[in-house]
Amino acid sequence: MIIKICGLKTQNDIAYVNELKPDYIGFVFAKGRKRTIDMETAGLLKERLDKDIKAVGVFVDDPLNEVLSLLDDNIIDAAQLHGDEDEAYIKALKEKTDKPVIKAFVVKEDTDIDLINNSPADMILLDSGQGSGKKLNEELIRSVKRDYILAGGLSPDNVGGVLLNRSVHLIGLDVSSGVETDGAKDREKIELFIKRVRNEEKR
C-alpha cells in the first residue's frame, strides 16, 4: 500500500518523513492554498528529503511549462494534476517527461466513471474535493476498474476501517490535514497513520 503525506512546507516536516518513511510526499504548488509553497522552498526541502522518498508536485490548472520546469529540475519526481486538466493536457505532459503523471478526480454523484477508467494518466487519485478533508463516499467508486490512490478525510482514526473494507483496486492512501494539528504536520499522527497502514498490510 502506497502512503503519501501531502502538503509539506517546513524542514520539520521533512525531518518527520525522513524518519517515518512514507513512500511519497507532496508539495502543493496550486495557487492560493494554505499549504502552497514556491519553487525555491520546494527545492530546498527536496535537497533534504530522503532519496528513497518520492516528491509529488500538486497542481491545479497550472501552465504546462511550469509543471515541466519542476520535473526537469528534479524538484519533483511526479506531477499530480488536481484541476480540470483534460486528456490533451495529460498527453502533452507525458510526451515531454518520462516521470509519472497522476490525475486526481473529485468523485461526485454525476462523475463520468469512464473518464477515470480511460484516463491516459499513469496513476489516478480519487478524492472528495481539493483538500476538503471529507471522506469519499466509496459507494460512488465501485465502478472504477483500475488501480487508484484514495484521498479525502483520511486520518489515523479511520484508516484501519478504510483498509478493512478496501476495494481490490485501492493501491495507495494520500493524507494531509488528517495528520495535522492546528494546521501543522504532527509527527505523532504521521507515525500512527503509517503504523496502522503497515500493520493492516501484515494481516
Q: What is the pLDDT along the chain (203 residues), one digit of tens a residue?
A: 999 999 999 999 999 999 999 999 999 999 989 999 999 999 999 999 999 999 999 999 999 999 999 999 999 999 999 999 999 999 999 999 999 999 999 888 777 888 999 999 999 999 876 444 455 566 677 889 999 999 988 999 999 998 987 888 999 999 999 999 999 999 999 999 999 999 877 66
For the chain, the domain total comes to 1
The partner residues of 44 in beta bridges, in order of sequence, read none
CATH of the domain at 57: 3.20.20.70
Q: What range does the domain containing 85 cover?
A: 2-201
Which residue do the cell numbers 477515470 mark? 116
Round to whole Å and give the CA distance between 150 and 155. Answer: 12
